[in-house]
Amino acid sequence: MGNARLNRWSCCLVSLLLLAPLMFGSGRCAAETNDAPTPIPEIQAAILSRLENHGDGDTVGCQGEILCGTQLLPTAYDKRDDLPLWVDDGCSVERATHLFDLIGKATEDGLNPADYHHHAIQHLLAAICERRTTGIAVPPAWWADLDLILTDAFLLYGSHLSTGRVNPETLGTDWKIHPGSVDLMAVLDSATAPDGNIETAMDALRPPYDGYHSLRRALARLRVLAPANGWSTVAGDKTLRPGDRAAAVTALRHRLTESGELNPARPVTDTAFFDSQLAAAVKRFQRRHGLEPDGIVGRKTVGMLNVSVEQRIRQVALNLERWRWRPRDLGNRYVMINTADFRLDAVEDGQVVVTMRVVVGRPARRSPVFSARISYLVVNPYWNVPTTIAVEDILPELRKDISYLSRHNIRVFENWQSGAREVDPATVDWRAYHANRFPFRLRQDPGTHNALGRIKFMFPNPFAIYLHDTPHRSLFRRAQRDFSSGCIRVEAPMALAHFVLAENPTWTDDKLTELIDSGETRTIRLRHPVPVHLVYMTAWTDETGSLQFRSDIYQRDRDLQKAFDRHHPKRSPGLAFMPDTPDGRTRDWKNKFDGN
């Protein structure tokens, strides 16, 4: 038993030692020579045999679609007459090890190298190198399988880098994101060309946004903290305020120093005293985490302080995935709304020119994630109350007091058809109606108390979501602003109107104000529709590179993490060769490919 165990450990050690020069040297095995005849024709024949014999049903999953495996591998090799892509005439493994190294860095993008055959490639390279250094010929089938696995890994990894690992539309009906298509075959051609650069080709697949690359760098910084036991914790049994003196204040000071809010170089005579310097650091932390910046360390602030580095690493990785879902072309002028941050940015030529607070859907009526185009505005709009709101919010009020309608300038129509007859609400037995029986259309007249305010911004979409003004201005003073029924209430509707009407010069601010004051309902169509993107980001970097975190108000981080945990892309099809080990035993390499 002891000798068998020793033999197994010796074999593993030999394989790892033999792989070391592949990763750190010139890409050739130690005793490798170029005197042996090149087996390229045999490798070519083995590749063709593998591709012709694979089953049509065995595929590789990429974002819920069949993008790799049996769908793309035959195409990739057919256009090259089944010649290997990663093995050259001299059978150097330099290109193979370069791709192997890049796959090993998938963690830098919040991805898992194991999803891209990293372990299988490592074992196969070690086996090939072991044979070559001992002068034993490497079977062409081994080279063919190495090449096919590398190609499949490149395509799958490339697909995940460019459009995401998880299909967002599988997470719920309120996700309609279309990142656009990337020509993976063209990128593969570029990477495997004689003068191709694999790393450059891979980098071109990443989202072309500074925000994505900045978040990658932030992830690297967090990973450095994890082995050092991360951040310390703060006791939450008592609220801490400026002027307090307690042992918990010392712990708070230490925690904020760790995360960079507090400068450790500044002298402090009494570390247990909650001074103005510490209060300013608390406010910085609160702003960075979307909390009310009051300088008081209460339950919510302590909760954020005690989130572990490991949790933040996972959160950043999930938001890197969300970057990969974004359209490649956001537009030159566009509106971006991060519902998790309750904020709207109007962007022109890459610069934020207007920013404002917004109110988004409550957790029970979540604001969706999608892209559309603002095509028109309605000034002094009517509000046709959605049936859900009418039944769940207004009907209970009607049953208690019929005057609710007149007090809110709401009229009743018998149905939703054009020209429907208006109904006297006093003639209706409202107790007889419910969610499954409510034919009426409730319409609120324009005015200062209209729920949509004075302007609504329309962008046709399957969710019937739009942006609008609101008479309820006090909500914008809250730090967490998830109070609407799904539509987005904007803090500064005139500033937003000025932005979207910039290419409609006849509509000056004065003219728009005059129209609002007149009370007339009018539709203004945009000469050039403006793209609008509703996103959900709970982690990002600001203009200074500082990490921002927000609460997962809709539990979408939780849902995406579950999808990551259960979504395991299938491995390469039809690669079940069985290389002999030096001690005469046979190793089941297909199990290694399948991650078993």
Minimum mean pLDDT among 68-82, 289-303, 318-332, 399-413: which range? Answer: 68-82
CATH architecture observed for domain 231-307: Orthogonal Bundle (1.10)
The 8-class DSSP code of residue 206 comes to S
Predicted TM-score of the model (pTM): 0.86
Whole-angstrom CA distances from 397 to 390, 391, 401, 403, 430 are: 10, 10, 6, 9, 10
Contacts of 76 (CB under 8 A, 6+ apart): 85, 151, 155, 185, 188
Contact 97, 23 (CB under 8 A): yes
Rounded to whole angstroms, the Cα distance separating 571 from 591 reads: 10
Kindly state the percentage of the chain with pLDDT values over 90: 69
Per-residue model confidence as pLDDT tens digits over 101-117: 999 999 999 999 988 98
pLDDT at 566: 81
Q: Side chain identity at 282, as an amino acid letter?
A: V
Where does the pLDDT of residue 29 fall: very low under 50, low under 70, confident under 90, or very high at 90 and above?
Answer: low
Q: Would you say how long the chain is, in residues?
A: 596
Please list the helix, strand and coil fractions of the chain in percent, rounded to the nearest 5, in that order: 45, 15, 40
Whole-angstrom CA distances from 454 to 278, 460, 469, 473 are: 43, 19, 6, 13
Minimum mean pLDDT among 74-78, 303-307, 460-464, 530-534: which range? Answer: 74-78
Structure token pair of residue 583: 């001690």
- With 80 as the cut, is the pLDDT of residue 182 above it? yes
C-alpha 243: how far from its chain's center?
Answer: 41
User: What are the start-end ranges of the H helices in 54-183?
Assistant: 73-78, 94-104, 118-133, 140-163
Please state whether beta strands 369-379 and 522-535 pair in parallel, antiparallel, or not at all (unpaired).
antiparallel
Q: What is the mean pLDDT of residues 538-543?
A: 96
CATH architecture observed for domain 327-541: Beta Barrel (2.40)
pLDDT at 22: 45
pLDDT at 276: 95
Rounded to whole angstroms, the Cα distance separating 40 from 172 reads: 49
Q: Edge to edge, what strands does the sheet with 410-413 contain?
A: 383-384, 441-444, 410-413, 422-423
pLDDT at 588: 30
pLDDT at 38: 58
Per-residue model confidence as pLDDT tens digits over 359-415: 999 999 999 999 999 999 999 999 999 999 999 999 999 999 999 999 999 999 999
> Which phi and psi (to 5°) does residue 32 adopt?
-70, 140
Rounded to whole angstroms, the Cα distance separating 28 from 466 reads: 60
Minimum mean pLDDT among 11-25, 224-238, 371-385, 575-589: which range? Answer: 575-589
Kindly tell me the burial class for residue 27, based on how many C-beta atoms sit within 10 Å of its own C-beta (0-12, 13-18, 19 or more): middle
Which residues sit opposite 354 in a β-bridge? 346
Q: What is the mean pLDDT of residues 10-28?
A: 41
Contact 484, 367 (CB under 8 A): yes
Stronger pLDDT, 467 or 138, i.e. the higher one: 467
- With 80 as the cut, is the pLDDT of residue 62 above it? no
Contact 471, 455 (CB under 8 A): no
- With 80 as the cut, is the pLDDT of residue 25 above it? no
Contacts of 99 (CB under 8 A, 6+ apart): 86, 121, 150, 153, 154, 198
330 Rama sector, left if φ>0, alpha if ψ -120 to 50, beta otherwise: alpha
Give the active site residues: 468, 487
Rounded to whole angstroms, the Cα distance separating 110 from 123 reads: 24
Q: Side chain identity at 577, as an amino acid letter?
A: F
Per-residue model confidence as pLDDT tens digits over 74-98: 888 988 899 999 988 777 889 999 9
Contacts of 455 (CB under 8 A, 6+ apart): 377, 378, 379, 381, 468, 469, 493, 494, 497, 516
Rounded to whole angstroms, the Cα distance separating 378 from 522 reads: 6
- With 60 as the cut, is the pLDDT of residue 66 above it? no
Where does the pLDDT of residue 533 fall: very low under 50, low under 70, confident under 90, or very high at 90 and above?
Answer: very high
Per-residue model confidence as pLDDT tens digits over 410-433: 999 999 999 999 999 999 999 999
Where does the pLDDT of residue 589 fall: very low under 50, low under 70, confident under 90, or very high at 90 and above?
Answer: very low
Structure token pair of residue 259: 């995360």
In 501-566, DSSP assigns E strands to 522-535, 539-541, 547-549
The 8-class DSSP code of residue 430 comes to G
pLDDT at 73: 85
Going from N- to C-terminal start, the domains of the chain cover 2-205+567-593, 231-307, 327-541
Structure token pair of residue 230: 């991360």
Contacts of 489 (CB under 8 A, 6+ apart): 358, 359, 453, 467, 468, 469, 470, 472, 475
Contacts of 274 (CB under 8 A, 6+ apart): 240, 241, 242, 243, 244, 245, 246, 249, 252
- With 80 as the cut, is the pLDDT of residue 596 above it? no
Which residues sit opposite 65 in a β-bridge? 62
The closest of 19, 40, 25 to 131, measured between CA atoms, is 19
231-307 against 327-541: fold identical = no
The closest of 314, 116, 109 to 205, measured between CA atoms, is 109
Stronger pLDDT, 588 or 323, i.e. the higher one: 323
pLDDT at 265: 87
Inter-helix orientation angle 118-133/94-104, to 10°: 150
Contact 573, 61 (CB under 8 A): no
225 Rama sector, left if φ>0, alpha if ψ -120 to 50, beta otherwise: alpha
Rounded to whole angstroms, the Cα distance separating 141 from 53 reads: 14
